[in-house]
């Protein structure tokens, strides 16, 4: 099941992992040093997440992050990556219309060196337009941190049947629009498992249970670094491991072996 590929991973390699039932590992990376360690540890996807606004820049939300910030951090990561596939987040208000989305995504691919861009919500027109230009897209449903002022709290989404149905339909529409991957954040494990089974594209969960095709965590949560409270869906992998590299390898193995997340990390 778990095939080690040493060459740089493409979207085809990631999709093949889903088809053969191998769990996909993903971690956030924002700088060259951590990106190199994560890449060497064998993690499949480096996500340059706009969570950097909170964990690197010290903001209370991801909203202040700019496209220039994202290009800078994506470039830091892509310079040292040898194997992992790189996804970069499109920041708040950089994809409010298809033309703007294409301009922002082009910066992340051309100047940043990303392989795929991620955008929050069911922005179907933008996704279709980007895919038409040859830009691979990852969707992001469930809890949408860029909409925190609309959501009111960082809470679990899709608990009510009509909300679950909406997330399900959005996932199908994103896939039909050409998205190649989907992140589900903070949704009930049963819903995430159903969406993963219904989708032909890889579904990566964070706070979405063990039934997804892969898992992503914010690196600093895994390393137990940070000022705030660690989210329930995360785990401190520094416990019982000797240093950062071992902790990341332990996360990688726990995901591949379907040992993380446990029910205590799920909703
Ligand atoms: O920005 C980020 O780190 C993310 C993950 C939480 C999925 O989008």
**Structural domains of the chain, ranges and CATH numbers in brackets:** 11-265 (3.20.20.60)
Nearest to 71, CA basis, from 101, 97, 47, 104: 104
Average pLDDT rounded to a whole number, residues 172-200: 98
Q: What is the DSSP string of 200-260?
A: SS-EEEESS-TTSSEEEE-HHHHTT-SSSPPPTT---TTTTSSSHHHHHHHHHHHHHTT-S
Of all residues in the chain, the percent with pLDDT exceeding 70 is: 98
3-state secondary structure of 45: strand
pLDDT score of 3: 60
3-state secondary structure of 174: helix
Distances (CA, A) of 253 to 42, 92, 214, 226: 10, 33, 12, 24
If phi over 0 gives left and psi between -120 and 50 gives alpha, with beta otherwise, what is residue 86?
beta
Collapsing DSSP states into helix, strand and coil, what is residue 122? coil
Q: What is the mean pLDDT of residues 248-253?
A: 98
Residue 223 is predicted with a pLDDT of: 96
Residue 246: active-site member:
no
Ligand 1 center to 220 CA (angstroms): 12
pLDDT of residue 180 exceeding 60, the answer is yes
Enter the pTM of the model. 0.97
Q: What is the pLDDT of residues 4-13, one digit of tens each?
A: 667 999 999 9
Predicted confidence at residue 6, as pLDDT, reads 78
Pocket lining: 207 vs ligand 1, CB cutoff 6 Å: no
Q: How confident is the model at residue 1 (pLDDT cuts 50, 70, 90)?
A: low
221 lines ligand 1 (CB under 6 A): no
């Amino acid at each position: 099941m778990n095939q080690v590929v040493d060459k740089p991973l493409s979207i085809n390699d990631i999709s093949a992992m889903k088809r053969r039932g191998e769990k996909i590992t993903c971690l956030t990376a924002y700088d060259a040093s951590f990106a190199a360690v994560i890449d060497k540890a064998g993690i499949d996807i480096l996500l340059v997440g706009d969570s950097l606004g909170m964990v690197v820049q010290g903001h209370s939300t991801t909203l202040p992050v700019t496209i220039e910030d994202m290009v800078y951090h994506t470039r830091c990561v892509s310079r040292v990556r040898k194997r992992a596939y790189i996804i970069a987040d499109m920041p708040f208000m950089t994809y409010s219309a298809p033309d703007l989305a294409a301009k922002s995504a082009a910066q992340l691919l051309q100047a940043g060196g990303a392989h795929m861009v991620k955008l929050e919500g069911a922005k179907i027109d933008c996704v279709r337009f980007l895919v038409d230009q040859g830009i691979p897209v990852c969707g992001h449903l469930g809890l949408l941190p860029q909409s925190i002022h609309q959501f009111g709290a960082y809470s679990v989404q899709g608990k009510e049947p009509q909300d679950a149905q909406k997330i399900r339909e959005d996932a199908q529409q994103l896939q039909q629009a050409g998205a190649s991957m989907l992140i589900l954040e903070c949704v009930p494990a049963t819903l995430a498992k159903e969406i993963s089974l219904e989708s032909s594209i890889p579904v990566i969960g964070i706070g979405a249970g063990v039934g997804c095709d892969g898992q992503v965590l914010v690196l600093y949560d895994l390393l137990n670094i940070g000022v705030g409270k660690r989210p329930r869906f995360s785990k401190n992998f520094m416990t019982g491991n000797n240093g950062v590299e071992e902790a990341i390898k332990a996360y990688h193995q726990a995901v591949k072996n379907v040992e993380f997340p446990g029910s205590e990390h799920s909703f």
